[in-house]
Chain A
């Protein structure tokens, strides 16, 4: 069964600190993995997208890694800001019937405190 599991479920950090969010998946056939940021009451916004051959990708203070062998990904946030408070969702694409089917993780709710 295609699944995406994220940890931790929620996280509180102080402003300026770094943090790492985890994503483990069992999805086949794997197409790509995306990290999204979702502010409360808003739609998800793409942070990174990685294919099978990519190990790391950065977007400003966000750096995503992918280990396709262990089927794990992480999202590292550097020098956190109050505006980083949001849910971070790991989404894995599985190729099915000619198009990609997205499998969503439950998300990690990050709260950055001053």
Chain B
């Protein structure tokens, strides 16, 4: 089955630094990748949608200069949280979609900004 690998699973960073999260589709080509944010006991909130080779489409209220998304290949998308602040602490999850109708989620990244 389709597998999506997300790294790191946990990261702690100092306020003001940047953090990069990687999302890889291991056994299929992901034409579209999605990035979500999830607060405790809440459901996933879509942050942005990215298609390989083009700029990401951000949801309303998501700062594109703060959450940089790169989808340079059909198997890799990255989310960089720039100048992180404690309020950016959250659970970030990616999902990938290929040519079919399936969506496969990564295992998530717990970001803690101290």
When A and B form their complex, what is the total count of cross-chain residue pairs whose Cβ atoms lie within 8 Å?
43
Supposing A32-B101, A99-B32, A100-B101 touch, asked if A41 and B91 sit within 8 A by C-beta, the answer is yes
Which of the residues B32, B43, B93 comes within 8 Å of A105, measured between beta carbons? Answer: B43
Supposing A99-B32, A102-B46 touch, asked if A43 and B41 sit within 8 A by C-beta, the answer is no
Looking across the interface, which residue of chain B has its beta carbon closest to that of A105?
A: B43
CB neighbours (8 Å) of A107 from chain B are: 43
- Taken residue by residue from 25 to 49, chain B's Cβ proximity to chain A (1 for < 8 Å, 0 otherwise) reads as 0000000101000000111101000
CB neighbours (8 Å) of B6 from chain A are: 43
Contact of A42 with B by CB under 8 A:
yes
Residues of B within 8 A of A (CB): 4, 6, 32, 34, 41-44, 46, 91, 93, 95, 97, 101-108, 110
Which of the residues A31, A43, A106 comes within 8 Å of B106, measured between beta carbons? Answer: A43
> Interface of chain A, helix or strand or loop or mixed?
strand
> Interface of chain B, helix or strand or loop or mixed?
strand
User: What is the interface size of chain A, counting residues whose CB is below 8 A from a CB of the partner?
Assistant: 21
Looking across the interface, which residue of chain B has its beta carbon closest to that of A32?
A: B101
Looking across the interface, which residue of chain A has its beta carbon closest to that of B109?
A: A43
- Taken residue by residue from 82 to 114, chain A's Cβ proximity to chain B (1 for < 8 Å, 0 otherwise) reads as 000000010001000001101011110100000
Please state if A44 and B105 are interface contacts (CB–CB under 8 Å): yes
CB neighbours (8 Å) of A45 from chain B are: 105
